[in-house]
Homo-oligomer: A and B are copies of this chain.
Amino acid sequence: MITVLAGGVGAARFLAGLAQRVSPREVTAICNVGDDFEWHGLHVSPDIDTVIYTLAGIEGELGWGLRDDTRVTLAALAGLGAEAWFGIGDRDLATHLLRTERLGAGVPLSAVTAELARAHGIEVRLLPVTDDPHPTMVLTGEGELPFQEYFVRRRAQDAVRGFRFPGALDARHAPGVIEALREAEVVVIAPSNPFVSIDPMLQVPGVRAALEQTRARRVAVSPIVGGQAIKGPAAAMLGALGHEVSALGVARLYRGLIDTFVLDTVDATLVPDVEALGMRAVAIDTMMQGDDGRRRVAAGVLEALDVSPS
């Protein structure tokens, strides 16, 4: 059994590769909900949807949304004077309608997520880290912004000073989350943003402790390659918050949480510094272009742990 702590695009691609290297029924993804927000009254779970769409092989060209989706409703909303800065496509909209309808009927997010995954034929088990509201707030020079306001509406242009998780204390881990960490043979921290994808999950009471105490082998994959984030603001956040903008900077954040750190071959010179933190470090090609790349990275991570693919 392999449990993956998953953010958005990077995690989704990793999971898609993993589900081709091992039986998808042996994989559980614990998903970040810190990016969730309300779009014209609909509950949108961007990270969960990115994982679902990518595992279903229908994700958009940039990794999120749906491939070749149209935006008729979005244009009509704009025409009526409504906010239209978050680009929801017409086919994508069906997911948000169904999710919101089911949540409104009292079904918890974890059960709705399982329903949506099933409707897409996905065999990987997807668990939102919590069924409770647990938004990521970004502290910036312009004040505190909900994640999507910071990331999409303002295009991540504001200097980041920190994060706040107002729901964290009251959020209960969703059913199965703690067991998935405790009972796994391997826990993978996916190549996701440590601050706004992984940390929000660790903030849910019990999750960090379960990761610290599990007997699983624990490995993280660096989302930083050659000092750049593959996608998104991870590098800018590392710098703004005073961390080294490198795979080593990420490895430091995960000290005590992992035994093995996988970084890209272009960062192979950092291996001794990472190992000096008290963890193994393994350099592989972490680029996940295409199905081949995804499978190769999943295989490389498992080999770094000496886990033979089934």
With contacts A42-B97, A100-B41, A101-B40 known, is A90 near B76, CB below 8 A? yes
Asked if A70 CB lies within 8 Å of chain B CBs, one says yes
Among B80, B82, B93, B101, the residue within 8 A (CB) of A73 is B93
Considering the complex of A and B, which 5 residue pairs feature the smallest CB-CB distances, nearest first?
A76-B94, A72-B90, A41-B101, A76-B91, A40-B97
Can you list, as one digit per residue, whether each of A253-282 has a CB less than 8 Å from chain B (1) or not (0)?
Answer: 000000000000000000000000000000
Cβ of A284: which chain B residues have Cβ within 8 Å of it?
none
Inter-chain contact A73/B100, CB cutoff 8 Å:
no
How distant is A148 from chain B, measured CB to nearest CB, in Å? 16
Give the interface size bracket for A toward B.
20 to 34
The chain A residues found within 8 Å of chain B, CB to CB, are 40-42, 69-70, 72-73, 75-77, 79-82, 90-95, 97-98, 100-101, 104, 116, 119-120
Cβ of A79: which chain B residues have Cβ within 8 Å of it?
94
CA distance A93 to B97 in the complex (A): 11
| Chain B residue with Cβ nearest A102 | B41
Inter-chain contact B116/A97, CB cutoff 8 Å:
no
CA distance A159 to B4 in the complex (A): 57
Inter-chain contact A98/B77, CB cutoff 8 Å:
yes
6 contacts between A and B (CB under 8 A): A40-B100, A70-B70, A77-B97, A77-B98, A79-B94, A80-B95
Inter-chain contact B98/A82, CB cutoff 8 Å:
yes
CA distance A49 to B90 in the complex (A): 21
Inter-chain contact B70/A94, CB cutoff 8 Å:
no
Cβ of A77: which chain B residues have Cβ within 8 Å of it?
94, 97-98
Among B81, B82, B116, the residue within 8 A (CB) of A80 is B116
CA distance A97 to B81 in the complex (A): 13
Given contacts A70-B70, A70-B72, 16 further A-B contacts (CB under 8 A): A40-B100, A40-B101, A42-B97, A69-B72, A70-B90, A72-B72, A72-B91, A73-B73, A73-B93, A76-B94, A77-B94, A77-B97, A77-B98, A80-B95, A80-B98, A82-B97
CA distance A101 to B41 in the complex (A): 5
Cβ of A75: which chain B residues have Cβ within 8 Å of it?
91
